[in-house]
Amino acid sequence: MRYFVRIAEVGNITRAAEQLNVAQPALGLQIRQLEQELKTELLVRHSRGVELTEAGKLLLDRARRILQDVEELRREITGNVSPEQEMMILGLTPSIMLQMDPDMLLNAKQTMPTVSLSLVEALSRTLTISLEQGELSYALAYGVDEARPGVSRRPLLVEELIFARPATGEPLPPTLTLADALSHDLVQAGERDMVQRLLRDAAARYSLDLRIVYEAESIPAMRSLVVRGAAASMMPYGTASEEIRAGKLVMQRISDIPLTRTLYLLKPSNAPSFRSQDLIDHFIDGIVRRLLDSLGPLARRVGI
């Protein structure tokens, strides 16, 4: 509510973000969420800034009164005032989320006491678009190998993909060739997915047959098809780490032509720094270190 009032008063989201010391993407997302919650448009955005709709003018009047009441109540209560919170919205891919230590995320409130952390889970291409649209403060996304306008990117690690197949009880060698892997019936995500693009590029480059018999945008559905023996799959280790540890799936590495992807830290290039930037940087670095520990020989750090 306070954010909305400030935007309405200055008539510009960028200036409001600077005055509030809040990242512009997070501020824009807060307003969109408020509009969705109220099921009405509050601001009309144009090149010069923003203007209030009729609903926005009504909300501004009520919001000022509410904030005044809250301030009066705060003054009556002493000794319980918390530091002003900064909102950080961090986008992570499903494979990263599956490898995170729950305690690390739960302890974020203790390690970053002045930061209100929100996590968004989505595929890399969705995270990249969301960040470009100002809906995320940061994103950890794979395969953003080309520069994008308005996006600052920094490579963090290179990860080797694995070949996952159903566990049959038969011992298997730890590695196989790419040609052997592609000779199996495969289930992969859709054509826009980075892993499928890597497979198609490699198959074309080395004149290999590629047999994708199922496409599944849902990661759980893809894992289920492999566990049930319907197909094998090239995938990130994190996508199937639980099933591999449980003995439901077997992983093999590609011995001759390993397929890799690069993890990038993305943020809007014009975003101001957080007041708690050092704490945030340490938290994100902790995620990278956790990934390196989980992936072991499948990953190496870059960009340092």
Domain regions of the chain by residue span: 2-76, 86-159+261-301, 162-258
- pLDDT number for residue 75: 58
The reported pLDDT for the residue numbered 295 is 94
Query: Which residues have CB under 8 Å from 80's CB, separation 6+?
Result: none
Domain 2-76 architecture: Orthogonal Bundle (1.10)
Confidence of residue 262 (pLDDT cuts 50, 70, 90): very high
Please state, in angstroms and as integers, the Cα–Cα distance from residue 174 to each residue in 22, 152, 158, 163, 201, following that order: 49, 38, 20, 10, 24
CA torsion through residues 254, 258, 259, 260, sign: positive
CATH topology match: 86-159+261-301 vs 162-258 = yes
Query: For the ranges 46-50, 117-121, 256-260, which has the lowest average pLDDT?
Result: 46-50
Superfamily for domain range 86-159+261-301: Periplasmic binding protein-like II (3.40.190.10)
pLDDT band at 83 (very low <50, low <70, confident <90, very high): low
Q: Which long-range contacts (CB under 8 A, 24 or more apart) does 22-25 make?
A: 22/86, 22/87, 23/86, 23/87, 23/88, 23/137, 23/268, 23/271, 23/272, 23/274, 24/134, 24/268, 24/270, 24/271, 24/272, 25/89, 25/131, 25/134, 25/135, 25/136, 25/137, 25/268, 25/271
Name every residue whose Cβ is closer than 8 Å to that of residue 137 and which is 6 or more positions away in sequence.
23, 25, 26, 87, 88, 89, 90, 267, 268, 271
Report residue 206 as tokens. 């080395």
Chain segment 193-231, per-residue pLDDT in tens: 889 999 999 999 999 999 999 998 788 889 999 999 999
Confidence tier at 76 by pLDDT (50, 70, 90): low
In our burial notation (b when 16+ CB lie closer than 10 A, e otherwise), range 73-106 reads eeeeeeeeeeeeebbbbbbbbbbbebbbeeeeee
Place of tokens 């990278």: 288
Instruction: Specify the CATH superfamily of domain 162-258.
Output: Periplasmic binding protein-like II (3.40.190.10)
Instruction: Answer whether 52's CB lies under 8 Å from 42's CB.
Output: yes
Per the structure block, which two tokens stand in for 124?
């890399």
| CB 187, CB 213: distance < 8 Å | yes
- Is the model more confident about 16 or about 240? 240
pLDDT at residue 28, rounded to an integer: 80
- Report the predicted TM-score, pTM, of the whole model to 2 decimal places: 0.69
Residues facing 251 on adjacent strands: 164
Given a cut of 60, whether residue 79 has pLDDT beyond it is no
